[in-house]
Structure 1
Amino acid sequence: MSHADFVRALRARCSAAGAGVGCGPAGAASAQMVRVIVNGSSVAFDQPPIVTVGRVLIPLRGVFEQLGAFVQWNPANNTILATRAGTEVQLTIGSRIAFVNGSQVTLDVPAMVGAGRTLVPLRFVSEAMGAHVQWESVSRTVYVTSSGAAQPVPPRVIQPPPAPRQSVIQGSVVRVDTGASRLYVQQGDQVYTVIVTADPAISGPSGSISLSQLRVGDAVTVTMNPQGHAIAIRSTTAGQQPPADVRITSVTHNAQGAMRVGDTLTVRMRGTPGGDAHFTIEGVTGAVPMTERQSGVYVGRYTIPSPFLVQTARVLVTLNVDGRVATALAPTPITVSGSANATLAILSPASGTSVGTPVVVRGIATPGARVTVRVDYRGTVLLFPVSGTYGEATTTADASGNWQVSIWPSVRIPNATLTITAQAEDPLGREATPVTVQATQG
């Protein structure tokens, strides 16, 4: 029986009995979109390849003759024999047992008949004959390349990955943690944590340096990715010899007692030469410039401009040399009193007004002054003149100079004339001029 007669007989048997061994299985999918390219040339089939159990089966002669194989059909035992370059492959229709150069091999899927054509597993036969097989799932194409032939590469468009966004921070190092491979950089009010896991390019003024060579205070520019990993670190100060410390060795001033309006405070400081210096008086004035009169000797002056009182004010001196700063306090604080006497005034009651009970007196004085208020009365009771003192009270003016007292009369005399007298003594022991107000008992 010829191969064509065998195929026709087998097709008739499959049609009568249904799908079975040696027939195209009911679950086999016609791979209309499957293309086969052998050594760069597309192969045309009158029966399209099919895919079954994940394997591509193709018509017997289409591919193998292009590979230079000689194909024979043996109708006596329904076997196929293909030979090429000393390699012999034998398959049997419907059997998963095959032979390569006489050695038995078990197939995933047997050779079979489909649509009047004998179909054989493409990969097994091709590779058994020394060809290379590649499946391209996107285009559903099988590339078969025989020995010595270059394998064609299917065209594809490769989109380049988007460039990662980078950020650059410029600031100063506030901490170096070599154990955790972390660098902490302050830019303005924000402190950034930089991860230095790989070995980014760290450059200093004299060339490449390591993370451990960075020091607190070094100026750095860091380029990092969105995950906070350093890409490059550049420092303009790392590895340099640290500058000498700025020092203040002494601070003196000329205040011997309380300073008053028009007095001039002279502050003298000795320290590192070549800097900018100023002093402040706590509670009195801000930065007063100091001039370097000779190397390392700075002098500044301040004249008390207006009346006020400040006790034990500290004098603070600041020296700045190339961005390095030192501060020091004068060993002796000063007292500033802008007036010769303590101040005192009664704000309420006003002269000639009527007061109730108790008699409430309010006023102002030098901050911290001790204020004493006395209320005297003079009037008539049953046409008889009477006079005396309602009472006396003492208080202390607050930081703003405000004070207030309340005096309860031992006896209330309607329409009596009240003489309210206030006296004050400030913290320096200076007495204010007494003040008097007359009011009427309501």
Structure 2
Amino acid sequence: MKIKSFSTAIGLVLLGSTIYLPEIAQASAKPSTQVAQRRVVGSDIDSFTAYPVQRLDPGTELFFVLRGTPYSRATLTIPNAVQNLPMREVQPGVYEASYMIRQGDRISENTVVRANLQQGDRISSTRLQQPLVAGYSDRGFQSLSINRFSARSVQQLAPGTTLNFKLLGTPNATANFSIEGVAYNIPMREESNGVYTGEYTIRSQDYFPPAGAAVTASLQSGNQVIRSRLDRELIAGDDGSSNTAEIPLEIITPEENARVSGTVEVEGRSAPNATVNVNVQATSSVAGLFGFERNILERTIRADEQGKFSFAFKPTISLPGTRYEVNLSSSRGDRTSEETLVLFQN
């Protein structure tokens, strides 16, 4: 699975996920019918993130990324520093801005940075839900992030079908998911460090509207809540080509969101003699640039007769906080499966 660049010139660091605080309103009951699901496009702010820096001294450059409604006007405000700083839309729905800390600015680890997104008369606002200083979370600020919210595709949304969901994000938090108009706030279990799973079995009275039911997950720690939409369709393609549930694919080590340094060794398990495509992408930011994305490794390996496989890569970027996304695609015959592992540079 290839990684798409978040910018026309350079990649963007993407540490955050969808921020959405209001509760979902309960939809009124409707007649039961099964229809294909279509993803619902949001019209607000999806995420607002920053690249953590080592210190908040004059001359340090802060870099921000906002994702939301495309073709809008985005601004950010840093109290005691800058008001309504314009953010540039580098691709539809992705806005960037940087700010160089000046003498006289009063910015601390507790500074609340806010962003606005305006389209016509509608204005959406949010606050940064992560620390500006790298490592500040270790001193009491729990920075929440959702790296991925996915589901196994099914052939039809029929009564008795079980939908399986998986969320990769900040460990030791509370996770749940909701299917708009069907079920709300279904708890997810933390199976391992930052890996949450949950399932829902469709009932005969459940209704999936023609416009598509939005499936979202939320992650909460203390009074912080972030949300993310499902990253794929629930229904398999009309040609039945989606068979991600038919072949096993598991990353054994390292754990999700682990901190790494030096050579990183990855071990996993799939079907015996399966072909495993590996792609490792690094995303980071440096002073004076909006960020960059670099391909670290791209190769094809084969699982052994027990389905085990392993590979290693050596990070070429030594910036603390660099995000490594390890994408695996396993196939045997016409069956495929995909997994993603997110790691961070020490």
TM-score of the aligned structures, taking structure 2 as reference length = 0.28
Higher relative contact order (CA closer than 8 Å, sequence separation 6+): 2
If each structure's helix is expressed as a fraction of its own residues, which one has the higher value?
A: 1
TM-score of the aligned structures, taking structure 1 as reference length = 0.22
Q: Which has the larger radius of gyration?
A: 1
